[in-house]
Amino acid sequence: MVRYFGELIVAFLMLPLACSAASSPSRPFKLPVAAKSVETSKDGKGWHESGVISVTFVQAEASFKAAMAQSGWKYRHAVALGQGNTHTLYTWDRGGNELTLMLRRIDVNRTAFSWGLAKTGK
């Protein structure tokens, strides 16, 4: 009985911590399976998250477009930077937020990604 009561108190004391963790901001889409996050930043200065996806540039583009669509993001446009389709910025919007994704070819089977959010107020 005392052990049960002790466990109940611990659970009760941990509840606020669990609730604050559940309400903290998280990634607004699910990363594609082959993607690995390397760095995150929540200070609002620069990219929110960066990483590498171990697929070709074309496969990375398709994987991220599918992930965004599954999360309810509406594709807006892409801007190719550089030559040979090796560096591209993409934008999506959803519910007054705009998500910008950058994909950059590292080598044949690796692509870097970074994304950030901005409020559009629309």
- pLDDT tens readout for residues 46-78: 899 999 999 999 999 999 999 999 999 999 999
Q: With respect to residue 10, please indicate whether it lies within any of the assigned structural domains.
A: no
> CA 74, CA 77: separation in Å to the nearest integer?
10
Q: With respect to residue 104, please indicate whether it lies within any of the assigned structural domains.
A: yes
Question: Which residue in the block uniquely carries the two structure tokens 């052990």?
Answer: 3
Q: Please, what is the average pLDDT of the chain?
A: 81
Give the C-alpha distances (Å, rounded to integers) separating 58 from 32, 84, 85, 117: 13, 12, 9, 23
The CATH number linked to 39 is 3.30.310
Domain that holds residue 50: 27-119
State residue 1's pLDDT score.
52
Q: How many CB atoms sit inside 10 A of residue 41's CB? A: 13
Task: Report yes or no: 112 and 50 within 8 Å, Cβ to Cβ.
Answer: yes
How many domains are contained in the chain? Answer: 1
> CA 84, CA 74: separation in Å to the nearest integer?
26
Q: With respect to residue 12, please indicate whether it lies within any of the assigned structural domains.
A: no
| Per-residue pLDDT at 102 exceeds 70 | yes
Q: With respect to residue 13, please indicate whether it lies within any of the assigned structural domains.
A: no
> CA 114, CA 122: separation in Å to the nearest integer?
24
Q: With respect to residue 51, please indicate whether it lies within any of the assigned structural domains.
A: yes
> CA 65, CA 38: separation in Å to the nearest integer?
20
Give the C-alpha distances (Å, rounded to integers) separating 86 from 37, 38, 68, 80: 20, 20, 20, 8
pTM for this predicted structure: 0.75
Q: With respect to residue 110, please indicate whether it lies within any of the assigned structural domains.
A: yes
Q: With respect to residue 86, please indicate whether it lies within any of the assigned structural domains.
A: yes
